[in-house]
Structure 1
Amino acid sequence: MPAIGVDAELEEYRQLMEAPTEFEEGFTAKTIVGALFIAFIFLPGSIYLWLVAGHTLGAAAQWVTVILFVEVARRSFMVLRRQEVYLLVYVAAALIGTNPFQGFIWNVYLRTSHVTKGLGIADEIPTWIVPVANSPAIIHRTFIHRDWLIPIAIMLFGNTVGRIKGFSFGYFLFRLTSDYERLPFPMAPVGALSATALAEITTKEETWRWRLFSIGAMIGLAWGIFYVGIPTLTGALMSRPLQLIKIPFIDLTHNTQNVLPATPTGIGTDLGAFLYGFVAPFWSVTGGFLAAVMVMILNPILYYKGILRQWRHGMDTIQTQTVNHYDFWLSASIGVSLAVATIGLVTVITSAIKARGQLGEHERERGSWAPRPGRGDFPLPIILSAYVLASLAYIYLAHTLVPHFYLWFL
């Protein structure tokens, strides 16, 4: 039983995986071969699937790669250690999630879309984002053209600096939240337990983790056959793909627009989002549900008040979301983000002031900033310096591209 004053749900997450007491190197030749396999085999397939169905292979590429290497290792009488398996999963997630050219395709749509032309912003998009509409690069649908040199160069610079920022400040937050504050990470045990299950079977010790992993894989496989497999195969043979299950959601806006005007409604068909609800903390799911209900209540009110001016009867979910975003929710989301940031800072500062001195009777003990022996921690001053330098590089680039923008706001 958890101690008095401790959240039982958070303690349950903490106890799913025990904290390691020793650390081993996971970056080996096996993980390098696995990363190359993902880059040359799964990444092109993920890009094609995104263009066809609007979804990427995502986690499938990670786990298929890991399962493949696990089976090869078993038949080669080799053992993949837990560190190697988890690092391979992490590298797979980073590679599959890195496809910046998807953004260029979206930018071309913004340049040529009737929606943006109707709003009068299509011609206002700078050429360092996307070439002009009559450029041969857009007409012939190719990235191999000099008009794409500046956008691609900016993309490469942004990705490099972004990686530095993400790693440096992410590592600092890891040390803060995991080592010092000892906060739970609800989704972390999911990936860790899956990697542990795959590592265990290489030692011929199949536990309950492998059984649950296999059940989940079969559920996903069965769903994927109907969700992605049939549309992909029929799309290659027929003029229109056969979708037994609508991708990515079932649009109900046309059915509810008389009762809920200017309100996008639908049923999501992504199995991953559904299963996520079983893992996410209760109050996280509750907050998402209340936010959805609030939108369903506010949108009709805003429409009748004349704030959502661009919405018209007959618009589908995507069109409704687009016009509502420009009319109200873009500015509202900025305000909410600033409010949440302010409340968070005030709460942290207040809690820090109250926590100074002796810990409360039922308050959990905090961790330490001291590096763990053998874990390969980086010095925090170097990490924070890298983040500051990367941020300054971003600011310099933004100021160079948009010189009249307020520098203090960057």
Structure 2
Amino acid sequence: MGIIVARVTWFTSGYVLFRLVSDREQLPFPTAPQSALASMALAEESGSEEQTWKWPCFLIGATIGMVFGLIYVGVPALTETFAGKKVTVLPIPFADLTPMLGRFVGATPIAISFSLAPIFAGLLLLFWSVMGSFAGVLLFMITSPLLHHYGFMPRWVPGMGAVQTQIVAGVDFWQPFGMGITLAVAVISITQVIRAGRERREDRAGAARSEPGMCKHPDCHQDAQVRGYCIKHLGRGDFPLWICLTLFFVAAAYPIVLAKTLFPLLVSTSLLVVILLLAFVYAPIMSFVSARLDGLIGQNIQIPHLHEATVFMTGYRGVEIWFVPLAGSDFGGGAETFRIIELTGMRFTSLLKAELVMIPIVLGASLMYWSFLWRLAPIPSDAYPYVQTFWPARAFQEAVRYSATQYSQMWRAGEQVEGELVAPGEVVWSPANLRDNSLYYWRVRLSDELGVRNPDLREYGPWSRTGHFYTDFTGAGDVRAPVIAVASDENERTAHLPGVELTEPAPGATVVTHETYLRVRVPADWDERLAVVFELDTDPDFDGGFFQGSTDRPVFFEIYWKDLRFTGDNKDDDHDGRIDEEYLNQKDDDGDGFIDEDLHHPIRGEKWPILVLGAVFGLGFYAILGIFGMPMFFIWGYIRAVASAGAATFFTLITEVIGAMLAKYYFWPRYGTQQWRQYAMVLAVGFGVGTSLVGMVCASVLMVSKGVSPTSF
């Protein structure tokens, strides 16, 4: 049902936006003609086969694709089937050089993709867009070793592979920097929409005075609406707008009704209001802005981590909120799709018929196909090398998203909790994501080393007594006998610290809500001089799988806000008279013969300055390009490289530039720019068909061989 609703939403929103920005505002959609030409790449003109260039061009591309597919995909699949051992001629998905070259260019993922697909993509894409992406890759490769040298990438160690290097480099620097860049692009996009919209209105006002006001069709006497014709005589198979709007709002309401039905307690009234505003106010407005930007310069607007921000602002702490269907998608790209269909001469009613035929076929085929794939071999596994390589990065990104709501909260004296002020000497901590019908143990310890930013490096006093409580959110009444752990012995170095008293919940109490508040009391005169650390677990030894600590920080916040793990202990650990003078970079920074023995972070673990730096860099880079008259597609290409720094496509950007250089400096002068682009589209289509045919044959052989099991008679 979700797929059907998604297709209805896409179709109706795309058509309505197309009518608004293409028909009414007559925006040019600069990338639509090229896409339309690609869609019609195999459409032959009338005439004999000898007079056309498309079929021979397609055959050349298909031949290249089949030969390459046989080497790249066919040899491994067929040797595994018939010889029992996989032989790989070209590494899939790439050859990882990072472990070998990491000692020379630290914290830089270096891998070579041997696929020809990026080269064909480079032949097609806009030259300056590809060069912008290449510049982003070069900047990444040049600056990453410098950033590692100066301590900005403490997680990277020599020997890591390309994907793992991508992950840690993104966590330490490139993800917050990329988010800042994307925020800058969002600001630039909105500015461009406003400025271009103002200019477009002036042009349209001047054109309206010169254009005739009646439909050009000889038998029509209605006012002209689109390019001199009324909607009826355009011959596009248009739909009534009121039907599309009605279907859109019905489809947009479906996930809201579903969320309230499946999660009646989770979707509170305040959250329901937020979802309604996103679905019926934010999504239409941002989709319209995105469609206008697409119509003006061929790019969509993107506000980074909007969904994560929406989930975070709900205030809910736990994993369940991520599975609530929230609205707020950007449908702006659908307008260009309808413009492409218009340019190809296809009727919109034909597209509707294709959708109606496609949906049941795709649903049925997908269920059978994926079920069979799962039975052949686990996913990920060596049977699927591409997924096996990139699934850690994908899984990590999903875990980062989910961690945004896995945070605990602490309140000190004078702060407000549930409408009440915390009393002097009292500390309140609320853990996240407690399980129902469970027994939890908790304890507390103190430290007065507030100058040490890294909580793990502070010296603490002894643990308090261990408290315990039960959770019963549904009233099931299950009770288990507690196992009381023994508190740690006194620490002589911190014997001067006061004691701490556990006040709530009482030992053996039952907690009936997810929002649990653990309260302790310290002497009021020590209140502002102490760091209080809570620990909670279902294991009395505090070594279980559900451990939580008040000093734990979700990875999402460590990436984008603050990471205190590598900030040092504010002490002279190597007794050289200096405090925290080294970076974590596998080097002897202070020349004393020891490596990484007295550490600190160059910006004290703060990540938000990196985000701000990315935003300033993006805005400044855009301004510089404007001053020197550089194509704006250069910055869009650069953003593409930064955005893919943690994705599989990052390793294909280097080979894309080969195709772009071949196109600009060899094929364009030889065949002409426009003519070569037509050739390149047909070549790319042929290459894709040839590679896909070989892949389908090999996949079929593998499926049959693994699906048939021998039987003894």
Relative to the length of structure 2, the TM-score reads 0.31
Q: Distance in 2 between matches of 1:165 and 1:221?
A: 38
Is 1:348 the counterpart of 2:193? The answer is yes
CA separation in 2, counterparts of 1:398 and 1:260? 49
1:337 match: 182
- Structure 1 equivalent of residue 65 of structure 2: 220
Contact 1:187 1:279 in 2 (8 A): no
CA shift in 2, pair 1:326/1:165, >3 Å: farther
Instruction: Give percent identity, aligned residues only.
Output: 35
Structure 2: distance between partners of 1:214 and 1:289? 30
Aligned length: 249
- Given that 1:263 and 1:295 are in contact with CA atoms closer than 8 Å, whether structure 2 keeps it comes out as yes
Is 1:171–2:15 an aligned residue pair? Answer: yes
Change (3 A) 1:236 1:390: same
Which secondary structure does the structure 2 equivalent of 1:224 belong to?
helix
- TM-superposed CA distance for 1:174, in Å, is 4.6
Alignment partners' CA distance in 1, 2:256 and 2:142:
40
Q: Which whole-Å deviations, capped at 9, do the CAs of 1:201-235 have from their partners, x for residues lacking one?
A: 9x868611111111111111111110101011112
> What is the RMSD computed on CA atoms of the aligned residues?
3.6
Q: Does 1:162 align with 2:6?
A: yes
1:193 to 36, 41, 52: 41
Flag the structure with higher strand content: 2
Task: State which structure, 1 or 2, has the greater radius of gyration over its C-alpha atoms.
Answer: 2
Q: CA separation in 2, counterparts of 1:307 and 1:389?
A: 49
Whole-angstrom distance in 2 between the partners of 1:206 and 1:297: 50
Residue in structure 2 matched with residue 373 of structure 1 by the alignment: 234
1:290-309 Cα deviation digits (max 9, x unpaired): 11112213322333344433
Higher relative contact order (CA 8 A, sep 6+): 2
The DSSP-based 3-state class of the residue aligned with 1:356 is helix
Separation of aligned partners in 1, 2:246 and 2:257: 16
Q: Does 1:284 pair with 2:145?
A: no
Match of 1:181 in 2: 27
AA of the residue aligned to 2:28:
R
317-326 or 391-400, which moves further after superposition? 391-400
CA gap of 1:397–1:346, structure 2 versus 1, over 3 A, is: farther
**Cα 1:393–1:298 shift into 2, 3 Å:** farther
**1:314 correspondence with 2:162:** no
Do the aligned residues in 2 keep the contact of 1:251 with 1:267 (CA within 8 Å)?
yes
Structure 2 Cα separation of the partners of residues 279 and 251 of structure 1 = 27
Q: How far 1:395 moved relative to its partner? A: 5.3
1:4-41, Cα deviation, whole Å (9 max, x unpaired): xxxxxxxxxxxxxxxxxxxxxxxxxxxxxxxxxxxxxx
Distance 1:160 1:232, change over 3 A: same
Matched letter for residue 37 of structure 2 = P
Give, in whole Å, the separation in 2 of the partners of 1:282 and 1:222.
27
Counterparts of 2:74 and 2:158, CA distance in 1? 34
> For 1:143-177, what per-residue CA distance to the aligned partner results, in whole angstroms no more than 9, with x for missing partners?
xxxxxxxxxxxxx52x3333233323333455566
How far apart are 1:392 and its partner, in Å?
4.3
Q: Structure 1 178/295 Cα, relative in aligned 2: closer, same or farther at 3 Å?
A: farther
For residues 385 and 299 of structure 1, the distance between their equivalents in structure 2, rounded to whole angstroms, comes to: 51
The answer on whether the counterparts of 1:234 and 1:241 sit within 8 Å (CA) in structure 2 is yes
Deviations along 1:324-362, one digit per CA (max 9) or x if unpaired, are 34444444444433332222122111111233234699x
Question: SS of the residue aligned with 1:321?
Answer: helix
Distance in 2 between the 1:297 and 1:381 partners?
A: 54
C-alpha separation between the residues in 2 aligned to 1:309 and 1:403? Answer: 40
SS at match of 2:234: coil
**Which residue of structure 2 lines up, in the alignment, with residue 208 of structure 1?**
53
- Shift in alpha-carbon separation, 1:379–1:256, aligned structure 2, 3 A: farther
Q: Distance in 2 between matches of 1:169 and 1:223?
A: 40
CA distance in 1, matches of 2:172, 2:259: 26
* Secondary structure of 2:63 counterpart: helix
SS of corresponding position for 2:41: helix
Instruction: Report the CA distance shift for 1:189/1:232 in structure 2 as closer, same or farther (over 3 A).
Output: same
Is 2:100–2:159's contact at 8 Å kept on the other side of the alignment? no
Q: 1:310 to 1:277 in 2, by over 3 A?
A: same
Q: Mark the runs of 5 or more structure 1 residues left unpaired by the alignment.
A: 1-155
Structure 1 213/367 Cα, relative in aligned 2: closer, same or farther at 3 Å?
Answer: farther
Query: What does residue 99 of structure 2 align with?
Result: 254
Match of 1:263 in 2: 108
Distance 2:66 2:164 in 1: 32
**Aligned equivalents of 2:135, 2:205: Cα separation in 1:** 33
Structure holding more helix per residue: 1
* DSSP-derived class of the 2:202 partner: coil
Specify the SS of the correspondent of 2:237: coil
Counterpart of 2:80 in structure 1 is: 235
- 1:283 deviation in Å? 1.7
What's 1:383 paired with? 244
Hey, what's the Cα distance between the residues in 1 that align with 2:194 and 2:106? 43
Question: What TM-score, normalized by structure 1, do the two folds share?
Answer: 0.52
Q: Any conservation in 2 of the 1:311–1:323 contact (CA below 8 Å)?
A: yes
Q: 1:224 to 1:287 in 2, by over 3 A?
A: same
Residue 112 of structure 2: SS of its match in structure 1? strand
Query: Equivalents in 1 of 2:248, 2:178: separation in Å?
Result: 26
**What SS does the aligned partner of 2:76 have?**
helix
- CA–CA separation in structure 2 for the residues paired with 1:250 and 1:340: 33
